[in-house]
Structure 1
Amino acid sequence: MRLLKRMTGFTILELMITIAIIAVLVGIALPYYNDYIMRGKLSEAFSNLSDAQNRMEQYYQDNRSYGPDAATCGIPPSRLQAAKFFTFTCTPTCTGSSCQGYTYTANGINGMDNFQFTVNEAGTKATLHVAPGWTGQGANCWVTTKGGC
């Protein structure tokens, strides 16, 4: 008498269904994950701009003027926390030898190229540019999510 063994394992159909389910889950999760990572990188700009604003106000209290040097405005960007995704520049607003205003700008680099944020001596925050698919460009706030401020 012949003994029949029962075959074990998965059929090709079962494997294909499993792969399809995984593909759907990845298709849903990946865009959310990418937005999450991008929002995390934005915090580098916000923390450094806030730090620059505080340092600029301390400089102003000591000197009764912001620095006239366009590269630093009194506080060189090199004194800010090391940044991987943004570069920082300062533009003073001067009348004669007196500089009573500034605009500190964060420009995105390394995958954050589309983002540009500013803050000035009055504490006005602005978003000048955002990534494609994001809203809030031109807003008087720092865009922190894909949906705006």
Structure 2
Amino acid sequence: MRKAWAGFTLIELLIAIVVVAILMSLAVPAYQDYVRRGRINAALAQLSQTRVSLEQYYADNRSYAASGTTCGATPSTVDYFTLACTASGSTGYTLGATGTTAMAGYTYSLNQSNSKSTTQYKGSTVSKSCWLIKGDEC
């Protein structure tokens, strides 16, 4: 009577390793892109919220500026982005989000006319009149 061998051959193990490596080479970049888009959305949501606060400040004070170039409302902090507001007189402002650390190379802005722009995306200089989140088209 013959005894049946149980287990895997070396070839079968190597094929399994190659299949896992191919799947990982596809999954990891897709996951990193997903995480990046989530970080961008958090910063853009804060810019939009600060815009609402500035409009409320303007309705109460007839000026976006608290004094000089200091805005009447300041953006909250967001991970991976530095948010800033610059008032231009009493009737204008520019909100900006600049990526830091893992998000360096991303720059977004918003002004009193609700004009959105992207000046840097994935480390490249761009000139788009929208907020780029996924891909290069608005």
Matches within 5 A, 1:28-43: 28-43=26-41
- Residue aligning to 1:112: 103
- Residue aligning to 1:89: 84
Runs of at least 5 residues in structure 1 that lack an aligned partner in the other structure: none
TM-score normalised per structure 2: 0.91
Matches within 5 A, 1:38-117: 38-67=36-65, 68-70=67-69, 72-77=70-75, 80=76, 82-94=77-89, 99-117=90-108
Matched residues in 1 for 2:133 and 2:57: separation? 28
Structure having the higher Rg: 1
More strand by share: 2
- Residue aligning to 1:139: 128
With over 3 angstroms needed to count, the CA separation of the structure-2 counterparts of 1:89 and 1:5, relative to structure 1, is same
Give a deviation string over 1:32-90, Cα, whole Å, max 9, x none.
111111111111111100001111111111111111343x411123xx3x411211111
Give a deviation string over 1:85-133, Cα, whole Å, max 9, x none.
2111111112xxxx2100010111230111111000000000111114x
Alpha-carbon RMSD: 1.7
What secondary structure, in the 3-state scheme, does the structure 2 residue paired with 1:100 have?
coil
What secondary structure, in the 3-state scheme, does the structure 1 residue paired with 2:126 have?
coil
Matched residues in 1 for 2:42 and 2:136: separation? 19
Aligned length: 137
